[in-house]
Amino acid sequence: MSKPDSTCDVYRSAIDRVLSDVRCELGAGAVLVIDSEDAHLPPEVLAHDPWLLSEITSPGRSPTIYVGVPDEGWTGVGRAEWPSLEDATVAIADAVQEVLVESRAHWAVAFPACPAHPGTPLWPKMHDGTAVWTCVDGAAIAIPIGSLGAEARTS
């Protein structure tokens, strides 16, 4: 396994893992993630969210990653210096869950669904040094974040 060599790469890998799980359960395009330091904004985001645009383009902006549901609200994830990939993955997963649960498009959707408790979500957490989705009942269920597609294929 190759080790990401910059803070930016760490967050990029963390975002990929979380979005892989979102795509698996909710389909492509359910969540947008914007790295404000790169600000590779899709034109539709610029058109629909002047507040976000001003946040990202203002001088001295804080390094923050924005997570949002298309045409809905955004939440920011504070960016730590030299985070571990696992810590960054938990932070991104937490923000993605927050925007999803508060969105009109995915209101009250349990993401990701707990295999043991239908209708309730799993929560992002560190478990033995790995970012996992866990059940509220404890660590009996601990699915590494980014592996939901693999779980589905093997079960």
Residue span binding Zn ion (CB under 5 A) among the ranges 5-13, 25-33, 66-74, 130-138: 130-138
Interface mask toward Zn ion for 85-124; x: CB under 5 A: -----------------------------x-xx-------
Residues whose CB is less than 8 angstroms from the CB of residue 153 and which lie 6 or more positions away in sequence, other chains included: none
Residue 154 half-sphere exposure, CB side, CA atoms within 13 Å? 6
CB of 129 to Zn ion, least distance (A): 22
Residues numbered 40 to 59 that lie near Zn ion (CB under 5 A) are: none
SS3 118: coil
Tell which one of 45, 93, 96, 135 touches Zn ion (CB under 5 A). 135
Give the other-Cβ count within 10 Å of 1's Cβ: 3
Contact between residue 131 and residue 112 where contact means Cβ atoms under 8 Å apart: no
Residues that bind Zn ion (CB under 5 A): 114, 116-117, 135
